[in-house]
Amino acid sequence: MSNKWIGIVNKDGKKMIERKLDSVIDKVAQDLRNLNITKDNIYSIEEYKKRKLVKEATVKYFIMKKGPKFSLEAGDCEEVAVLNEEYLKRGE
């Protein structure tokens, strides 16, 4: 009723619910489907957050590519360290 899609009308002494619009356009559902975040609807995004329809989340991702020193063979490894309890205690 807040969107004025329907209204209460007295007909023949009886209260009846009547349709006020021929077609209903649900702006909230459209916004949530499209997730259009622009300067025009920042206010509506904040309202959706209050109503717990939208939640902000941070997504982190990494892109891995082969570097110039990529090799499938373990040939020229100069420093090979074996970590054991003695090395860790000495701080090496």
**pLDDT value at residue 19:** 83
Q: Give me the residue spans of the domains in the chain.
A: 6-90
SS3 (DSSP) at 86: helix
Query: Mean pLDDT of successive 10-residue segments in the chain (92 residues)?
Result: 78 85 79 69 77 86 89 66 73 64
41-64 residues labelled b (16+ CB within 10 A) or e (exposed): eeeebeebeeeeebeeeeeeeeee
**pLDDT value at residue 25:** 79
β-pairing, 14-19 vs 6-11, is antiparallel
**pLDDT value at residue 49:** 85
**pLDDT value at residue 63:** 93
